[in-house]
């Protein structure tokens, strides 16, 4: 499983962001009726929220975005 994740991280990151990958996967499952609309919204919001917090933490830790 770690090899699959490493492959996906290395090659898929070049073509699309993880946010887009999660969203497109959830949308595909929604179209195949494997998820309902509430679950789709939950998946999308959860990942986007978590990724947003990670981005904020990274900027804060590395001091990016500070005004002088």
User: Between 37-62 and 18-31, two packed helices, what is the crossing angle to 10 degrees?
Assistant: 180
pLDDT at 27: 92
pTM strictly above 0.85: no
Every domain of the chain and the residues it spans: 16-62
The count of other CB atoms within 10 Å of the CB of residue 26 is 19
CA distance linking residue 67 with residue 48, whole number of Å: 26
pLDDT at 14: 66
Q: Per residue in 12-68, pLDDT tens?
A: 666 667 777 788 889 999 999 999 999 999 988 887 787 778 778 888 888 765 554
pLDDT at 39: 93
**Whole-Å CA distances, 4 to 9, 13, 24, 38, 55:** 9, 13, 19, 29, 24
The count of other CB atoms within 10 Å of the CB of residue 42 is 13
3 pLDDT more than 60:
yes
């Amino acid at each position: 499983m770690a090899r699959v994740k490493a492959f996906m991280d290395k090659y898929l990151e070049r073509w699309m962001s993880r946010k887009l990958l999660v969203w497109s996967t959830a949308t595909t499952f929604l179209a195949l009726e494997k998820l309902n609309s509430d679950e789709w919204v939950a998946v999308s919001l959860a990942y986007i929220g978590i990724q947003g917090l990670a981005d904020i933490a990274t900027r804060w830790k590395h001091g990016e975005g500070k005004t002088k």
